[in-house]
Homo-oligomer: A and B are copies of this chain.
Amino acid sequence: MLKGFHVPLTAKGLSTLNPTPPWHYSCDLLSIEFWANPRAVTAMLPSALSIDPRSEGRASAFFCDWQFSGDNDEYLDPARYQYREFFILLDCLYEEQPVSYCAYMFVDNDAALARGWSEGCPKRIASVYQTRHHAAPSKASPPLAAGSRFAASASANGQRLADALVTLTAPAKDFPEFAQRPIVNLLHYPQLTRRQTAPTIHQLVMNVPRDMRFESPWVGEGHLSLPICYGEEVSDLAPLRCGYGLRASMSYTVDDLRILRDL
């Protein structure tokens, strides 16, 4: 009996990309609210989702420094499980419910990529960085204080996909609304066999994280740019204008996925 959650399945189950859920996540994050061309947003939505008319093309970009663990102390193997992430969410409606659709997601770690695929996150590999806050005061580390600036960037295959800057203005009691919508993904697994042209999996799913915790949220002004890159179309969502910025810590656990419907 071969063991493991993701491939490779092996005799002992050690080499698998990931342990069986629950999957525990903890991060520092930067987020920027922005407005893209509504036609570009609409063009990126799978059927069964429609643009949120009250949102006027609103979207958000997230940059996360993640630490992951299963139930076997995987956080003590950071070379294998620590990672960084960049993703873009689009405001939209699913059966009149306001949700966010994940249009792009990039990580710098294969275990994270495999977990994401199982949740329908459209992950690719990239290099992602964000300015960090450390406890010891220094010109090299911005304090959690009004006026502090935090930057972030993401690059895939040597091309810069995104640059961001958040300037803090005030602590927040909670996450802003734009960062609180349920996240809907297109879980898609293609079929290589010639006789069957339909993908093996092509369904709309909703993330159902539990035990979500927010800590030390600060809001401020956000700035984001999505440069034009060869062979990429992230820049079609380039901001017409930007809104709030957010800097916070967050944690949650994943051990389930809600399937909304086959497409």
Contact = CB atoms under 8 A, between A and B. Distances in A.
Taking the full assembly, how many copies of this chain does it contain? 4
B139 A69 contact: yes
A117 B134 CA distance: 25
A249 interface: yes
Interface residues of A, number: 107
Interface in A176-208: 186, 188-194, 200-201
A110 B125 CA distance: 6
A232 to B, nearest CB: 5
A257 B139 contact: no
Contacts of A151: 75-78
B149 A76 contact: yes
Interface stretch (A52-60, A92-100, A153-161): A153-161
Interface of A: 2, 5-12, 14-15, 17, 21, 24-28, 40, 43-44, 46, 65, 67-69, 71, 73, 75-80, 82, 103-105, 109-110, 113, 117-119, 122-125, 127, 129-132, 134-142, 149-155, 157-160, 163, 165, 186, 188-194, 200-201, 213-216, 229-234, 236, 249-259
